[in-house]
Amino acid sequence: MKRIYTCFLILVLLLCGGCSYGKTQNENASSSCDIFAMDTYMTLTAYGKNSDRALEEAENRINELDKKLSTGSPDSEIALLNKNGSGKLSDDTLYLLDKSLEISKETNGAFLPTIYPLMEAWGFPTKDFKVPDDSVIENCFSLFDTDLINENKKEGTVSFKKQGMKLDFGGIAKGYTSNEVIEIFKKSGIENAIINLGGNVQTLGKKPDGSLWRVAIQSPNEGDEYLGILEISDKAVITSGGYERYFEENGVTYHHIIDPKTGYPADNELVSVTIVCDDGLLADGLSTALFVMGLDEAIQFWQNHSEMFDVILMTKDNEIYVSDGISDLFSTTYEMNVIER
Amino acid sequence: MNKKDIMLMITMLLIAGVCYLISNLTRNENGNQVKVSVDGKIYGTYPLYEDREIDIKTDKGNNVIVICDGSVSVKNADCKDKYCVKQGHVSKKNESIICLPHKLVVEITGKNEADKAIDSIAK
């Protein structure tokens, strides 16, 4: 008889194991909203009693920034500056100019806000893609020098010393916007939130249940599981890869991250760069810059700035390099190397 | 342990195994849905585990969504960049396919909050 009881016990245990999921009920009030802005799709989720109002405020702020910064809409501040070669800018746009020049200098031009004429030559803004002639690329090189940007801080005006120069803050605009959204949430008393602006993730606090947010990083390899999963709180997680925006011509794939030094899409060992940082704007700019730098230079750059951010790199050989500040919080099925300080 | 006991044990284990399988399968069927929205408005919600083709025709343009073997893709679209078609298949909770020109979002949603679910995807 004892044996029969044992069998029943096994049966009960197995059945319980099979149905112990799916009972979690969220006690916290939460609000979410989806927004199409900045030529991308955004989702915002905030927890807490002021979340509805905070989301509304955030949405207004996003639309306000979109209006100012969109190179695509002809009457934006940035489009007018590019068209006229001079113009008066709002505090937001001036702030982005200063920040982008700072990152450009720090990354030795791997991030470059004056690259826009070359992006136009490749057809990325209009999606009329084409490989530009060498002479066109050469001409664009002559418009890159950031010292030719004249800024009058008192008047809030900016002008270019050379005709044809154009600025684009697309490389940091979403990062700045996610910083601003998180600030709005903080001021509204929100303690837990996660936002995703076209693949740029930023988190506030932890999850309402006190656990860390689980952010997956998309793999560049098709049909793949994620590149890996990162557990974080209070951080921006921003990835750059050549697999998101690209086109093909004569059997060759050209992606949208152009190396300012060659004038062609960055072509090195790296296929994906993720920056983890308190500051979404910095993470946004650095993800592009480190992608352009390539593996060795990116590792070196992190080692010189390890207090500012953490990094996850993936190479063409499917090897992953993770900086030691987050290696304990990152899991992946790929071969993983830890970068020491 | 006599023969009858062993038979009983095997039967129990078999029953348990079948029950476990059934509950697992129904979890998937109940759990994951494909939510299609256009310009923020829900167009429709479909079970991920029922094969079908959905023709989306709006004033912004057309997309053909295919649900097959538990994964979703956009088969055809008349948008300019075709990024939605190039994005390939998605099958896991919180994954999505987006067609910006048509403001179309195809998203996998789950009723069950699995312990190890992903909160967001960086790309």
Instruction: Give the whole-angstrom CA distance, residue A193 versus residue A203.
Output: 6
Instruction: Give the whole-angstrom CA distance, residue A177 versus residue A280.
Output: 8
| Domains of chain A by start residue, with CATH | 72-167 (1.10.3980.10), 212-339 (3.10.520.10)
**Residue A2 reports pLDDT greater than 60:** no
Whether residue A15 lies within 8 A of chain B, CB to CB, comes out as yes
Whether residue A210 lies within 8 A of chain B, CB to CB, comes out as no
Inter-chain residue contact A15 with B20, CB threshold 8 Å: yes
pLDDT, position A73: 86
Q: A105-109, B8-12, B74-78: which range is least confident on average?
A: B8-12
**Residue B101 reports pLDDT greater than 50:** yes
Instruction: Give Cβ neighbours of residue A315 (< 8 Å, ≥ 6 apart).
Output: A269, A270, A271, A295, A321
Structure tokens at B67: 């649900």
In this structure, are residues A38 and A69 in contact, taking their beta carbons and an 8 Å threshold?
A: yes
Which helix (H) or strand (E) segment is A236 a member of?
Answer: strand A236-241
Question: What is the pLDDT confidence band of residue A286, given thresholds at 50, 70 and 90?
Answer: very high
**Residue A258 reports pLDDT greater than 50:** yes
Class of B32-110 per CATH?
Answer: mainly beta
**Residue A18 reports pLDDT greater than 50:** no
**Residue B81 reports pLDDT greater than 50:** yes
Distance from CA of B72 to the nearest CA of A (A): 12
Q: What is the CA radius of gyration of chain B?
A: 20
Helices (H) and strands (E) in chain B, counts: 2, 8
Size of chain A in residues: 341
Instruction: Give the whole-angstrom CA distance, residue A309 versus residue A323.
Output: 9
**Residue A26 reports pLDDT greater than 50:** no
Inter-chain residue contact A22 with B112, CB threshold 8 Å: yes
**Mean pLDDT taken over chain A:** 91
pLDDT, position B95: 87
pLDDT, position B119: 93
**Residue B27 reports pLDDT greater than 70:** no
Residue of A nearest to B121 (CA): A216
Instruction: Give the whole-angstrom CA distance, residue A169 versus residue A93.
Output: 9
Instruction: Give the whole-angstrom CA distance, residue B17 versus residue B23.
Output: 10
State how beta strands B104-110 and B32-38 pair: antiparallel
In this structure, are residues B64 and B76 in contact, taking their beta carbons and an 8 Å threshold?
A: yes
In this structure, are residues B46 and B36 in contact, taking their beta carbons and an 8 Å threshold?
A: yes
Instruction: Give the whole-angstrom CA distance, residue A334 versus residue A282.
Output: 27
The string of pLDDT tens digits covering residues A206-215 is 999 999 999 9
**Residue A78 reports pLDDT greater than 90:** yes
**Residue B99 reports pLDDT greater than 90:** yes
A181/B22: higher pLDDT: A181
- Which one of A52-61, B83-92, B95-104 scores highest in mean pLDDT? A52-61
**Residue B115 reports pLDDT greater than 50:** no
Instruction: Give Cβ neighbours of residue B46 (< 8 Å, ≥ 6 apart).
Output: B33, B34, B36, B52, B54, B67
Whether residue A2 lies within 8 A of chain B, CB to CB, comes out as no
Inter-chain residue contact B121 with A34, CB threshold 8 Å: no
Q: A28-32, A43-47, B48-52: which range is least confident on average?
A: A28-32
The string of pLDDT tens digits covering residues A151-181 is 999 999 999 999 999 999 999 999 999 999 9
Please name which of A196, A165, A200, A70 lies closest in space to residue A125, comparing C-alpha atoms.
A70
Q: A122-136, A170-184, A243-257, B3-17: which range is least confident on average?
A: B3-17
Distance from CA of A225 to the nearest CA of B (A): 9
Distance from CA of A241 to the nearest CA of B (A): 8
**Residue B79 reports pLDDT greater than 60:** yes
**Angle at which helices A280-293 and A91-106 cross, to 10°:** 40
Please name which of A286, A296, A276, A176 lies closest in space to residue A234, comparing C-alpha atoms.
A276
The arithmetic mean of pLDDT across residues A20-26, rounded, is 32
Inter-chain residue contact A36 with B24, CB threshold 8 Å: no
pLDDT > 70: what percent of chain A?
91
pLDDT, position A63: 96
Residues β-bridged to residue A261? none
Instruction: Give the whole-angstrom CA distance, residue A69 versus residue A62.
Output: 10
Instruction: Give the whole-angstrom CA distance, residue A55 versus residue A52.
Output: 5
Instruction: Give Cβ neighbours of residue B111 (< 8 Å, ≥ 6 apart).
Output: A22, B30, B31, B33
Q: Reduced to 3 states, what is the DSSP secondary structure of residue A232?
A: strand
Domain segments of chain B as ranges: 1-31, 32-110
**Residue A121 reports pLDDT greater than 70:** yes
A222/A216: higher pLDDT: A216
pLDDT, position A30: 87
Question: What is the pLDDT confidence band of residue B22, given thresholds at 50, 70 and 90?
Answer: low
Instruction: Give the whole-angstrom CA distance, residue A175 versus residue A227.
Output: 22
Q: Using CA atoms of A202, A274, A109, A73 in order, give the dihedral in degrees to the nearest 10.
A: -50
**Residue A283 reports pLDDT greater than 60:** yes
- Chains A–B, number of C-beta pairs less than 8 Å apart: 108
Contact list in A for residue B8 (CB cut-off 8 A) is 3-4, 7
pLDDT, position A23: 28
Residue of A nearest to B19 (CA): A15
Q: What is the ipTM of this complex?
A: 0.84
Structure tokens at A33: 């909203």
User: Letter for the amino acid at B59?
Assistant: D
Structure tokens at A262: 């060659």
Instruction: Give the whole-angstrom CA distance, residue A140 versus residue A118.
Output: 6
pLDDT, position A224: 76
Distance from CA of A296 to the nearest CA of B (A): 22
Structure tokens at A29: 């009030």
Question: What is the pLDDT confidence band of residue B46, given thresholds at 50, 70 and 90?
Answer: very high
Instruction: Give the whole-angstrom CA distance, residue A223 versus residue A232.
Output: 26
> Between residues 148 and 187 of chain A, which touch chain B (CB distance below 8 Å)?
none
